[in-house]
Structure 1
Amino acid sequence: MTQTEFGRRCRPDTLRRLPRQKDPRVEIWINPACSKCSSALSLLDAEGAEYTVRYYLEQPPTADELTKVLARLGLEPWDITRLGEPDATDLGIGTWPRDAGHRDRWLEALAGHPALIQRPIITADDGTAVVGRTPEAVRSVLP
């Protein structure tokens, strides 16, 4: 297991990237009111990256999309859940078990309450995915 920038553990095999054939197409899930999202966008612009913005509060990911992104991140739904959000308190999500038997419940909560999703999430079509809360994480999706 390897430590991530959040201090959580992830499988080392999830840190490997697929070989790059050309510059990847990048999508970034943002909340425009978030300073980390603004910083990530500024960095992508400064690096001349081409990307697509997804305003995930307006276009929430489905549970299936979240499952795929989490697999690429090597994380679980509870690892990307913002427990300090009012929706988290309303749902009592902080008390939910964090195990495979409750994974679908977490996924449905994130899909139904996208404000609970940590941001920004950046994916590239080469298989790379990061939670871009640091400049290093954002740069890791660039060629």
Structure 2
Amino acid sequence: MEIWHNPRCSKSRAAKQRLDDEGVEHTERRYLDDVPTAAELDEVLTKLGKQPWEIARTGEAAYPATLEHDRAKWIAHMVANPILIERPIVIDGDTAHIER
């Protein structure tokens, strides 16, 4: 199990704490420092059953309000601006979910 984590985010900290408290073995990926590749983000989006614009943080300055809904373009923009990726994302094998 892996958690894409931002320690500055209270929801991300709470999700990580739950995993720790429950003794769930996991790896922590601080995705702002260890940015996912386009292929990794695409794979996680597939596991989530979401499009990139569905998990984008709309309140961020880098949010591309005028970018067409083209999956590849959005993924490239999110890889270049990982702050846009909603967090935390917990990945467990073939599934993933956003811990909100």
What is the distance in 2 between the residues matched to 1:80 and 1:119?
9
Q: What letter corresponds to residue 56 of structure 1 in structure 2?
A: Y
Unaligned ranges ≥5, structure 1: 1-25, 134-143
> Which of the numbers 106, 116, 128 marks the counterpart of 2:95?
128
Partner of residue 110, structure 1: 78
For residue 138 of structure 1, what is the aligned residue in structure 2? none
RMSD over aligned Cα atoms: 0.9
- In structure 2, C-alpha distance between the alignment counterparts of 1:117 and 1:32, rounded to whole Å: 14
The separation in 2 between residues aligned to 1:119 and 1:67, in whole angstroms, is 15
* SS of structure 2 residue aligned to 1:50: coil
Task: Provide runs of 4+ in structure 1 moved above 3 Å.
Answer: none
Report the secondary structure of 1:123's partner residue.
strand
CA distance in 1, matches of 2:75, 2:14: 27
**Pair member with larger Rg:** 1
The CA deviation string for residues 34-53 of structure 1, in whole angstroms up to 9 with x for no partner, is 00011001111121101100
| 1:55-94 matched pairs, under 5 angstroms | 55-88=30-63, 93-94=64-65
Percent identity of equivalent pairs: 45
- The alignment status of 1:47 with 2:22, answered yes or no, reads yes
Q: What is the rounded CA distance, in whole Å, between the counterparts of 1:37 and 1:59 in structure 2?
A: 16
Which gives a bigger RCO, structure 1 or 2 (Cα 8 Å, sep 6+)?
Answer: 2
Give the corresponding residue for 1:8: none
Structure 1 residue 95: deviation in Å? 2.0
Q: Equivalents in 2 of 1:65, 1:107: separation in Å?
A: 10
Q: CA–CA distance in 2 between the matches of 1:129 and 1:79?
A: 14
Provide the rounded CA distance (Å) in 2 between the counterparts of 1:49 and 1:95. Answer: 40
Q: Tell me how far 1:97 sits from its aligned partner.
A: 2.2
Unaligned runs of 5+ in 2: none
1:95 partnered with 2:63: no
Distance in 1 separating the partners of 2:62 and 2:48: 24
